[in-house]
Amino acid sequence: MNASTQPDIPEIALQQFALSIEGMTCASCVSRVEKALQKLSGVQQASVNLATETATVHSIEGSVTAEQLLGAVQKVGYQAYLATDAPLNQSNTHADSELVKLVCGIVLSLPLITPMLLSLFGQHWMLPNWTQWLLATVVQFWLGARFYQAGWKALKARAGNMDLLVALGTSAGYGLSVYQWLFAETRMPHLYFEASAVVITLVLLGKWLETRAKRQTASAIRALQALKPEFARVRRAGIELDIAIAHVRVGDLVIVRAGERVAVDGVIKEGCSHLDESFITGESLPVAKEIGDQVIGGSINSDGLLLVETTAMGTEATLAKIIRLVESAQAAKAPIQRLVDKVSEVFVPVVIVIALATFIAWWVISGDVQHAIINAVAVLVIACPCALGLATPTAIMAGTGIGAQYGILIKDAEALEIAHRVTMVAFDKTGTLTEGKPRIVGLHAINGDDNELLHLAASLQTGSEHPLARAVIDKAQALAVEISPVTEIKALAGRGITGRMGQVSLYLGNSRLMQELGVEITAIAAVVQQWEQQGRTISWLASIESSSVTLVGVFAFGDQIKASAQRAVQQLQTMGIKTALITGDNVGSATVVAHELGIDCVMADVLPADKAAIVSAFKAEGHVVAMVGDGINDAPALATADVGIAMSTGTDVAMHTAGITLMQGDPARVADALDISRRTYNKIRQNLFWAFIYNLIGIPLAAMGLLNPIIAGAAMAFSSVSVVSNALLLRRWRPVSHRSSVKHVVNT
């Protein structure tokens, strides 16, 4: 069957569910929940994040219900809610409950551990056996009930987790102590009640510290959410009303006084002021705003009274979009995490086998059952997979959170992970490295009448939003040049524009268009050549009347290079990254910009469709390519690149296609985006190293009898805390552009 006769395959409509999940303690839990969700018919993908305690499920529309998803999670032993239904104070309540249990654990365990500590100083004192039993029992079966419940659920699901290891280990220690107390031949047998009680207390301490640290990694989201105003002052029918933000409509006029936070996205209709937009751009200096300028909800009005017409509300507001992007990135699972998940699936069963082997070996070698049990308990206790599950997501949460604070929005974890390997950055020119607001820097009329040349060109381009057209119209308006009606206006893709004024057809465009029309341009070739050497963009105006083609004149446009563009290129080169310029502008203009900025490679006169092919060629050479652009014509190249980086000052299409968006439109932030990616990935590697090293060192030591259960419990408790704390160091990151020097870029 050939392509022309193949039936059309309909696109599958997908729906997305966001779940909040309670009760997960380690990477094994994550794997279990994911498998339960993926077993449901119609589920295409399920991704569970331990750090955020959330699950994102993509399914075929109508194939599965929210109730089925929640039921699947609950069946394997966890509490689940739709993200919108989760209790608002859930995290605070949970943290308070953990603190109360921790304090109780410390109070009950101190009398048990004190005699051991006093013995180091020659003081021999011991609680009565029944008192030890009573204190340990309360800790074991009240404070430790969570481990039994979760461990039992894991067993029913034929899986293992951290809770199962803790329950088995502490139960063995507790059970051995009870046996010794009741059946030992000596009056004062050696009991291990303090080991089981202290281990549980240490685990509770670790979980409490971990919860606190995880809340700090999510601080970026909470900070953004706090920027949402609850009320707005709206002018309707000449009356000012204070209404809830949910009741504001598009088109409403919102009053913003000095010192107030702008309630909505909109356009200034009256007044002028300076606005603090640091929450979205990372730039601390206020931005001057006047009538006609866009304002962003959440920014702060420094001075002056503003009247703002609402243009976007709710989920379409800029702040809401930013929050969604950050939440999406933090909930996403990096490719490296999938390897960790596979390891976690077999981790707990392997640890139980090692503990059993340790018990048998020590029993056979020493003949001391007590000693064998204690060593096996130490193996069970130290082997906690918590740190493995937290290593990657906490680093991603911290990295994307601090990036968002400086106007670097990373859409997904995959973009973050790939960005650290970038070896080449390809820039678009107009709007990316330059201001994107060209102006006329020269014009030449064949008949010497520059005003008539402006009149024809401005009339032809009236209504066009093309940057070059705006430059012509602005020039004509500044000189009070008359604008005449033009009919049959038609855009010529990649070449220019045409229209009809009376009996004359006008053509305005590049040299390619002039060649197609057969226009003779030698008369002013010398002038044009000089402009091209200066890097100017050239537009020709020709007319056709009665089949006679005539050159009317020529324009030279110049675009100012952004102030930070040179610094951006220098920062990238300092980081060992090559740079390229891919533009549709002429060779002269592109070469001048590239030379001034120090860019390594220049591709000029490139059609939009060819930009993606050039990016593919760079990738074929072995480069990991990041493409930076802002326009619709850059979208294919952004999608083709390993990492797409879009300027927020450009089109929505570009931002949707790219994996990273720079909210300030500042090219210097490209280096910042790659720098935070490198640092985040380094933190992921460091975290995974520490997560594995705890077990690689701890398990053999415990198996050899060199660790008692209390020390093992402390090591296990603090393994996850150290991983989260290491990730939190990313909050100290500052953009390269904010540092005094870019000569040394040090990756932590």
Contact 100, 48 (CB under 8 A): no
Cα dihedral 293, 297, 303, 307 in deg (nearest 10): 60
d(CA 270, CA 253): 10
Contact 196, 139 (CB under 8 A): yes
Beta-ladder partners of 611:
none
Sign of CA pseudo-dihedral 50, 54, 58, 64? positive
d(CA 143, CA 201): 8
Nearest one of 594, 597, 590 to 566, comparing CA atoms: 597
d(CA 713, CA 691): 15
Helical H segments across 575-621, by residue range:
587-597, 608-620
561: number of Cβ within 10 Å: 18
Beta-strand pair 239-244/265-270:
unpaired
Would you mind telling me the total number of residues written for the chain in this entry?
748
d(CA 600, CA 623): 14
d(CA 717, CA 66): 35
Helix, strand, coil % in the chain, rounded to nearest 5: 50, 20, 30
Cα-based angle 651, 656, 657 (whole degrees, multiple of 5): 100
At which residue do the structure tokens 């460091």 appear?
686
Contact 420, 444 (CB under 8 A): no
The continuous run of DSSP H or E covering 370 comes out as helix 369-382
Nearest one of 497, 463, 507 to 483, comparing CA atoms: 463
Long-range CB contacts (within 8 A, 24+) of 129-137:
129/181, 129/191, 132/177, 132/191, 132/193, 132/194, 133/177, 133/178, 133/181, 133/193, 135/108, 135/109, 135/111, 135/193, 135/197, 136/112, 136/174, 136/177, 136/193, 136/194, 136/196, 136/197, 137/174
Beta-strand pair 625-629/643-647:
parallel
SS3 of residue 605 by DSSP: coil
d(CA 418, CA 60): 29
d(CA 482, CA 486): 13
SS3 of residue 269 by DSSP: strand
240: number of Cβ within 10 Å: 10
d(CA 41, CA 429): 48
d(CA 323, CA 329): 10
d(CA 132, CA 177): 10
SS3 of residue 704 by DSSP: coil
Rg for the chain, CA atoms, rounded: 34
d(CA 205, CA 200): 9
Task: Count H helices and E strands in the chain, helices first.
Answer: 25, 26
Task: Give whole-number Cα distances, 228 to 246, 298, 419, 460, in Å.
Answer: 11, 6, 31, 45
In order, the DSSP letters of 639-666 are: HHSSEEEEETTS-HHHHHH-SEEETT--
Marked catalytic residue, from 252, 428, 585, 666: 428
Clarify whether 428 is annotated catalytic. Answer: yes
Give the active site residues. 428
